C-alpha cells in the first residue's frame, strides 16, 4: 500500500467541486478498489440528536445495519469510546454485529468536528488480521481531511 499515493488521490477527491455525498461515495469506491483487503468501506454518522448512527455512503455488499445504536457492535462502541477500534478477528468480540459470514475483521476510525465525534469510517475485511498501523494512520488522515468540509 502506497500511503502517499492514496493520500494524494483522497486530496484530489476532496478538492473536487462535487457534493459532500459524492465525495464520500468516491472515497468509499476508491478505497475499496485500491486496497485489496478492504471488502466493505462505509461512513456512519450520528443520526441527529438520537443516540444512534445512520449509514451514509458505502461501497460493498448492501447491509441491513443502516441504524446502529450507540454501544452496539464495533461502530456503536466507537461512537461511545471516541477511539479507534481495530478488530483483527471478529469472532473474538462479544459485542460484534455481524454484517455477513464473509467478514473476518473490522477497523473503525471516528471523525471529529470541533472535538465532537460526528461519525466514522468503517472497513470490513474478509481476511483475518489484515490491518496494520499504516491502515490506522491512513484512515485517521482521511477522517481529519473529511472533517474540514463537514
Q: 37-76 pLDDT, tens per residue?
A: 999 999 999 999 999 999 999 999 999 999 999 999 999 9
Domain range 3-149, CATH class: alpha beta
* Dist CA 105 CA 8 (whole Å): 26
Task: Please report the sign of the dihedral spanned by the C-alpha atoms of residue 65, residue 31, residue 45, residue 21.
Answer: negative
Closest CA to 38 of 138, 130, 145, 141: 130
Asked whether 10 and 30 are in contact (CB, 8 A), the reply is yes
Strand partners, 106: 87, 124
pLDDT in tens, 87-146: 999 999 888 877 777 999 999 999 999 999 999 999 999 999 999 999 999 999 999 999
What distance in Å separates the CA atoms of residue 86 and residue 138, rounded to the nearest whole number? 13
Q: What is the mean pLDDT of residues 32-41?
A: 97
Backbone angles phi, psi at 95, to 5 degrees: -100, 60
Q: What is the mean pLDDT of residues 17-29?
A: 97
DSSP H helical ranges for the chain: 3-15, 20-34, 73-81, 133-149
- The phi and psi torsions of 81 (rounded to 5 degrees) equal -80, -25
Amino acid at each position: 500500500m502506497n500511503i502517499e499515493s492514496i493520500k494524494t488521490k483522497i486530496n484530489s477527491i476532496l478538492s473536487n467541486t462535487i457534493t459532500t455525498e459524492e465525495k464520500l461515495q468516491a472515497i468509499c469506491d476508491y478505497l475499496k478498489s485500491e486496497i485489496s483487503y478492504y471488502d466493505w468501506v462505509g461512513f456512519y454518522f450520528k443520526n441527529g440528536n438520537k443516540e444512534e448512527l445512520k449509514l451514509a455512503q458505502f461501497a460493498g455488499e448492501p447491509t441491513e445495519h443502516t441504524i446502529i445504536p450507540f454501544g452496539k457492535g464495533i461502530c456503536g462502541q466507537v461512537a461511545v469510546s471516541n477511539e479507534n477500534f481495530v478488530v483483527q478477528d471478529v469472532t473474538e468480540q462479544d459485542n460484534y454485529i455481524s454484517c455477513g459470514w464473509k467478514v473476518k475483521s473490522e477497523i473503525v476510525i471516528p471523525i471529529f468536528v470541533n472535538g465532537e465525534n460526528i461519525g466514522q469510517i468503517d472497513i470490513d475485511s474478509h481476511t483475518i488480521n489484515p490491518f496494520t498501523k499504516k491502515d490506522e494512520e491512513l484512515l485517521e488522515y482521511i477522517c481529519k481531511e473529511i472533517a474540514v468540509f463537514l
